[in-house]
Amino acid sequence: MLIWYFLSFVLSALAWARASATCLNFNCMLILLPVSRNLISFLRGASTVSTTSQIAILSFSFYFYSSAIASSILHHSSSHAAIHIVAHLINIERYHRSQSKEAGELQNKLSALGKNSHESYLNPIRTYETVSCHFLVLTTIAGVTGVVITVALILIMTSSTELIRRSSYEVFWYTHHLFVVFFIGLIFHGMGQLVRGQTPQSLLLHNVTYCKDHYLEWEKATQCPLPQFSGNRPVAWKWILSPVVLYICERIIRFWRFRQEVVITKVVMHSSGVLELHMKKSGFKMEPGQYIFLQCSSVSQLEWHPFTLTSAPEEEFFSVHIRVAGDWTAALFKAFEADEKAFRELWMLPRLAVDGPYGAATTDVFHYQVSVCIAAGIGVTPFASILKSIWYKCCNPSTVLTLQKVYFYWICRDPSAFEWFADLLSFLEAKMAEKGKNDFLSYHIFLTGWDESQATHIALHYDDKMDVITGLRQKTFYGRPNWDTEFKQLAENHPSIGVFFCGPKTLSKILQKMCNSYSSADPRGVQFHYNKESF
């Protein structure tokens, strides 16, 4: 083909540009799926499993896709975009040089096409005297949209770092919505048709073997009529159409939920600086361990923040416990006047919108015969819902529970943080004793931070029947747990165990390592199935 000889200068770079573009289109097809929370929750709820190994695989697949794959897609997209940009910059420079005399007569001939009305051009750089061919390309649709796409991708990438997410979540939240600009730019990017090729009709009329040596006779020889060229049709829209439609449906569902009225029935401010909200909403149905997104219009019209539900499905309300951990939560406390002694009347409180509930890894606790629930700090919230639901299920004679034993570990730095959750444990402790199920729930609370006066108080009351910190029969441990000892005891007593964790990544890595090291290589041996809460 005639185009082959013209592209002999640019073939290598062009191949890199087109290959990276295809990879980028594929990544863009996948990137919207992890944020389709309703789809993931539906698949999680619709999936039926019968064994603990299937549960573990399914739970891991949902977590891996929604978290790890999303991050991987974003990083691979940036690398493919970089390759695409560099390759096309090389292509443009070679397009420009193909018009020089040193390029050869065939390249000069092809570059000159398009000057007459009956001709179509192949080389987008129309003159060798161009001051800056790269500047000229930036005035095209492909160039302008390419700059927009690149800037949007850079902002999304840099704001997704853990440092930005933790220090300024609002920056992360707002810049991530540049994906709308990114996708619009991606759709229009190929419409510039910068890369051109010979039309199929023109190819049929050419004798390639003859025409490559008689390019000066194109307009005279019948077997070599003047070649015609056209731009490659854009294909990005084909890759992203389905996920965009799916995401639009997702947004419609969320908007419908946003319009539903949420009634705040109770507000409690705990001394540990935790705000407890009880709410009701028409048609709201939840499972233990699920989470919701909250939006407060008086704080921000656009921001939605995730919170784990601390109520049980059997209760007439749903609740969350919120601790100040950033600008948005601080503004929410101020809006609810949580710092003051007395709250306003419920009808005077700011309006809240609720999106959800959505599934999480901890919802699989009931699928195991033995479950180990480990929480660090405020990460205890999903297990509040689970422990409450356990109590309700135990009180219902018609409920058949697969779960036979629960081990609960809570590591916390501040003694005051035990306040609201200790009440729940005390209630469960008393009720389980009444039902003769003292061995059903085994909990271990670890306090990692205390001052000198607290240490003295603890020492003086060490022999008391009730724990001086929590008021529970089970004594509080001081310091961090020895996970080797804990997992060794678990492995000796149970053949298959589901481990559920909510807390910082550093501890998560330790626990995952423990699960792997204490799991037997033989599938028939002891197996620890690790599940990490992530939303």
Does 266 have pLDDT greater than 50?
yes
Task: Report how far residue 529's alpha carbon sits from residue 482's, in angstroms, rounded to the nearest whole number.
Answer: 19
Task: Report how far residue 412's alpha carbon sits from residue 500's, in angstroms, rounded to the nearest whole number.
Answer: 17
Per-residue pLDDT, 480? 85
Q: Which residues contact 534 (CB under 8 A, 6 or more apart)?
A: 63, 66, 67, 360, 361
Residues 351, 236, single domain; the answer is no
* Average pLDDT of the chain to the nearest whole number: 75
Does 343 have pLDDT greater than 70?
no
Per-residue pLDDT, 178? 86
Task: Report how far residue 467's alpha carbon sits from residue 458's, in angstroms, rounded to the nearest whole number.
Answer: 9
User: Does the residue 350 lie in any domain?
Assistant: yes
Task: Report how far residue 20's alpha carbon sits from residue 149's, in angstroms, rounded to the nearest whole number.
Answer: 15
Q: What digits encode the pLDDT tens for the residues 170-215?
A: 787 788 888 888 888 888 888 877 777 777 777 777 766 677 666 6
Contact 201, 229 (CB under 8 A): no
Give the residues across from 374 on adjacent strands.
409, 501
User: Does the residue 68 lie in any domain?
Assistant: no
User: Does the residue 55 lie in any domain?
Assistant: no
Per-residue pLDDT, 116? 75
Residues 153, 7, single domain; the answer is yes
Per-residue pLDDT, 41? 67
pLDDT band (50, 70, 90) for residue 415: low
Per-residue pLDDT, 55? 43
Per-residue pLDDT, 497? 86
Per-residue pLDDT, 534? 56
Residue 532 — φ and ψ, nearest 5°?
Answer: -110, 135
Output the DSSP codes for 375-442. Answer: EEGGGGHHHHHHHHHHHHHHH-TTPPPS--EEEEEEEES-GGGHHHHHHHHHHHHHHHHHTT-TTTEE
Based on the number of CB atoms within 10 Å of its own CB, is 69 exposed (0-12), middle (13-18) or buried (19 or more)? Answer: middle
Pairing mode, strands 229-231 and 318-323: unpaired
Does 125 have pLDDT greater than 70?
yes
Query: What mean pLDDT do residues 233-249 have?
Result: 84
Per-residue pLDDT, 458? 54
Residues 223, 308, single domain; the answer is no
> Per mean pLDDT, which range of 67-71, 174-178, 222-226, 446-450 is the poorest?
67-71
- Please state the length of the chain: 535
Per-residue pLDDT, 8? 44
Pairing mode, strands 527-532 and 318-323: unpaired
Residues 185, 280, single domain; the answer is no
Share of the chain above pLDDT 70, in %: 74
Domain boundary, last residue among 327, 358, 389: 358
Torsion of CA 506, 512, 518, 519, to 10 degrees: -170
Per-residue pLDDT, 57? 44
Verify cis geometry, omega within 30 degrees of 0, for the bond prior to 481. Answer: no
User: Does the residue 191 lie in any domain?
Assistant: yes
Of 359, 267, 376, the residue nearest 306 (C-alpha) = 359
Per-residue pLDDT, 9? 41
Residues 171, 227, single domain; the answer is yes
Residues 238, 272, single domain; the answer is no
Q: How far is CA 35 from the centre of its chain?
A: 6
Contact 281, 354 (CB under 8 A): yes
Residues 328, 409, single domain; the answer is no
Of 140, 151, 47, 39, the residue nearest 88 (C-alpha) = 140
pLDDT band (50, 70, 90) for residue 268: confident
Residues 420, 526, single domain; the answer is yes
Per-residue pLDDT, 5? 43
Q: How far is CA 129 from the centre of its chain?
A: 49
Residues 158, 182, single domain; the answer is yes
Domain boundary, last residue among 358, 376, 403: 358
Domain boundary, last residue among 332, 358, 384: 358
Per-residue pLDDT, 465? 58
Residues 348, 403, single domain; the answer is no
Residues 127, 26, single domain; the answer is yes
Handedness of CA 192, 195, 201, 206 (dihedral sign): positive
Per-residue pLDDT, 60? 44
Left if phi > 0, otherwise alpha if psi is -120 to 50, otherwise beta: which for 202? alpha
Task: Report how far residue 21's alpha carbon sits from residue 27's, in angstroms, rounded to the nearest whole number.
Answer: 10
User: Does the residue 491 lie in any domain?
Assistant: yes
Does 68 have pLDDT greater than 80?
no
pLDDT band (50, 70, 90) for residue 83: confident
How many CB atoms lie under 10 A from the CB of residue 75? 13
Task: Report how far residue 313's alpha carbon sits from residue 56's, in angstroms, rounded to the nearest whole number.
Answer: 23
User: Does the residue 273 lie in any domain?
Assistant: yes
User: Does the residue 151 lie in any domain?
Assistant: yes
Residues 344, 493, single domain; the answer is no
Most confident of the following: 101-105, 213-217, 487-491: 487-491
Tally the domains of the chain: 3
DSSP, collapsed to helix, strand or coil, labels residue 291 as: strand
pLDDT band (50, 70, 90) for residue 291: confident
Torsion of CA 422, 425, 431, 435, to 10 degrees: -150
Q: CATH no. for residue 462?
A: 3.40.50.80
Of residues 42 and 460, the one with the higher pLDDT is 42
DSSP state letter for 351: P
User: Does the residue 456 lie in any domain?
Assistant: yes
How many CB atoms lie under 10 A from the CB of residue 314? 13
Does 88 have pLDDT greater than 70?
yes
pLDDT band (50, 70, 90) for residue 412: confident
Q: What digits encode the pLDDT tens for the residues 351-377?
A: 889 987 887 767 778 888 888 888 887
DSSP state letter for 534: -
Q: What angle do CA 529, 422, 510 make, to 5 degrees?
A: 30
Per-residue pLDDT, 526? 84
Q: What is the 3-state secondary structure (H, E, C) of 443-512?
A: EEEEECCCCHHHHHHHHHCCCCCCCCCCCCCCCCEECCCCHHHHHHHHHHHCCEEEEEEECCHHHHHHHH
pLDDT band (50, 70, 90) for residue 442: confident
Q: What is the extent of the structural domain holding 15? A: 2-32+75-243
